[in-house]
Amino acid sequence: MSDESGPTDNLAALIEANKHYSKTFDQSELQPAPTKHFAILTCMDARMDPYKFAGLMDGEAHILRNAGGRATEDAIRSLIISHKFLGTLEWFVIHHTNCGMTLVTDEKIGDLLEEDLETAVFDGETWINPARDASDNRKSGSDAGKSMAWHTFTDLNQSVLTDMETIKNHPLVPSHIKVYGFIFDVKTGKLTPVVR
């Protein structure tokens, strides 16, 4: 037996888990503004829980997550809202080791998606699309991925530094906001500061 679940299980399990959660819910007095006045921007990666690795309680901080923890336009939109309406003054940019975004390039993503939308497999060296026989008529790929920015990167330290700069240099980010950079190690749970 494995710990993996299929699609039909997940919806029911989530609803059931939430029933239990709401029965003992005691956070109704929390206010929208984070009490610690900070926000964390990190990756969507399943192995990282910012509440745990940063020792946070409910109500203390904004958590922003996307593929890579990158300072995309949308992440910056969210950070500006976080400061302008909810008073955060410090932002932590946290990328992590073994990130999928370092194992592929923007160009490769565009090529793979043009051929096929199904989940690719990593053959040890590169990503390849799943095999298809001639009778398979599922929806095929699209070239829409060629014109998208996928925000892949190769150097982990550099990606954190680049994102910190992107944030600091944005015209809507006040100069007194503090921006910190860290790398989370998925093998040790440890955060290491990134400094220029």
Residues 8 to 27 in contact with its own copies, rule: CB under 8 A: 10-11, 13-18, 20-22, 25, 27
Residue 10 has phi, psi (to 5 degrees) of -65, -45
Query: Could you tell me how many residues make up the chain?
Result: 196
Query: Site for its own copies (CB under 8 A): which residue of 127, 161, 162, 165?
Result: 127
187 touches its own copies (CB under 8 A): yes
Residue 35 binds its own copies, judged by CB under 8 A? yes
The nearest distance, CB 30 to its own copies, in angstroms, is 4
169 part of the interface to its own copies, by CB under 8 A: no
Q: Rule CB under 8 A: say whether 154 interacts with its own copies.
A: no
Nearest distance in Å: CB 131, its own copies: 16
The reply on whether position 191 binds its own copies by CB under 8 A is yes
Instruction: List the x/- string, 49-88, binding to its own copies by CB under 8 A.
Output: x-xxxxxx-xxxxxxxxxx----xxxx-xx-xxxxxxxx-
